[in-house]
Amino acid sequence: MQTLRVDLGNHAYNIEIGTGILTQTGAKLRILLPEACKAAIISDSNVAPLYAAQLQDSLAAAGLPSELIIIKAGEQSKNMQVLSDVLEKIAIAGLSRSDVLVTLGGGVVGDLGGFAAASYMRGIAFVQVPTSLLAQIDSSVGGKVAVDLKSGKNLAGAFYQPKAVFIDTELLKSLPLRFLHDGLAEAIKYGCIQDKNLFERLAGYADDTELLADAEYIVARCCEIKARIVEQDEFDMGLRALLNFGHTIGHAVEQYYSYGYYTHGEGVAIGMYQLTRRTEEMGLTPIGTAAKIAEVLQKYNLPFQADVGKKVLLDTMARDKKKKGDSITLVILDNLGSGKLQKIGWKDMIEYLR
Ligand code: GLY
């Protein structure tokens, strides 16, 4: 088991990573929040049947009765109406300000549950128990919580840090392969922007079994990279944008297909390759980098191109919150393992599309 500290002053917290942590959640919470009398667990219709009973038993054994609140699995649930229903259920369960909310699920559950924790009684303690690879290495760490609006993804939210993140890598074994690979795209991203060794390690596994056997290392390394970035830029005013490598094009591709065709990681995979191919042509990235990215993406059945024209991509990107006024900040690779931020004029963005 590994413990990482996210050093954010008076709201610092630990990320604990290992196998079997799910069933230790109650005991760990008891130490962390001795005053808590009750818990609400937010989970979804896919994850709750698999793991909610184990979590509830673990909490009960630590003297924490819990109310299980299940939302329908899928991004469609990440909206104001579901948030409002969840908040009502927390209120009906009688949680007080000293109680705790536990999110058990992937990114949707973590984002919506975290936002519920941030808003219920103006903020109660919450802990993340992420179950997908994407949530374990990205969305559960760093305190971004949100729901989608009709006008766009994550448009209503907050920065609200959990009290702890408990990551049980054993849970990844029940993840459908497409969603394991979805998360892997973000792991490849961390390798691209900060850690060539991680990139090469991901490229080197013989198969998914070998990859899963090394899950604790992968998750811990990705969380460590993210934690160090978030510590320097909690509120996403600068450096944290490094985490957006591949996301500008990726989000546009996802949105073009109304979030119904490509998963988030698949969009990011396309974005990483396409931008790098272009920055190579522009002489900003060493030749051969994009080919290395394509090779590892293909290995995990991740796409690297999509049938979307430049003009359509540009129009879609114009609505993205990463665009600020007349400029946009891209993450480009100086080298494999070394990403940097590059602010460009919006009028020049077309040059970065293939
Ligand atoms: N997922 C990007 C961030 O947390 O900033």
Per-residue pLDDT of the chain (354 residues; tens, 9 = 90+): 999 999 999 999 999 999 999 999 999 999 999 999 999 999 999 999 999 999 999 999 999 999 999 999 999 999 999 999 999 999 999 999 999 999 999 999 999 999 999 999 999 999 999 999 999 999 999 999 999 998 888 999 999 999 999 999 999 999 999 999 999 999 999 999 999 999 999 999 999 999 999 999 999 999 999 999 999 999 999 999 999 999 999 999 998 988 889 999 999 999 999 999 999 999 999 999 999 999 999 999 999 999 998 888 898 888 765 667 789 999 999 999 999 999 999 999 999 998
The C-alpha torsion from 206 through 211 and 213 to 219, rounded to 10°, is 160
| Closest alpha carbon to 54 in 109, 107, 104, 111 | 104
Residue 241, C-beta contacts closer than 8 angstroms, at least 6 positions apart? 322, 329, 331, 341
What is the SS3 assignment for 313? Answer: helix
Strands 39-44 and 125-130, by their bridges, are unpaired
Strands 152-159 and 144-149, by their bridges, are antiparallel
Spacing, Cα 242 to ligand 1 middle (Å): 9
Residue 225, C-beta contacts closer than 8 angstroms, at least 6 positions apart? 190, 193, 194, 195
Residue 27, C-beta contacts closer than 8 angstroms, at least 6 positions apart? 58, 61, 62
pLDDT value of position 354: 83
Spacing, Cα 12 to ligand 1 middle (Å): 17
| Gap between the Cα atoms of 262 and 75, Å rounded | 13
Spacing, Cα 35 to ligand 1 middle (Å): 31
Ligand 1, closest atom to CA 244? 2
Spacing, Cα 32 to ligand 1 middle (Å): 25
For ligand 1, atom 3, name the residue with the nearest CA. 243
Spacing, Cα 332 to ligand 1 middle (Å): 17
- What single letter denotes the amino acid at residue 154? N
Give the binding-site residues of ligand 1, using a 6 Å CB cut-off: 138, 142, 144, 236, 240, 243
Q: Where are the alpha helices (DSSP H) in 93-176?
A: 107-119, 133-134
pLDDT value of position 326: 87
Report CA Rg, the chain: 20
pLDDT value of position 163: 98
| Gap between the Cα atoms of 51 and 185, Å rounded | 25
Ligand 1, closest atom to CA 243? 2
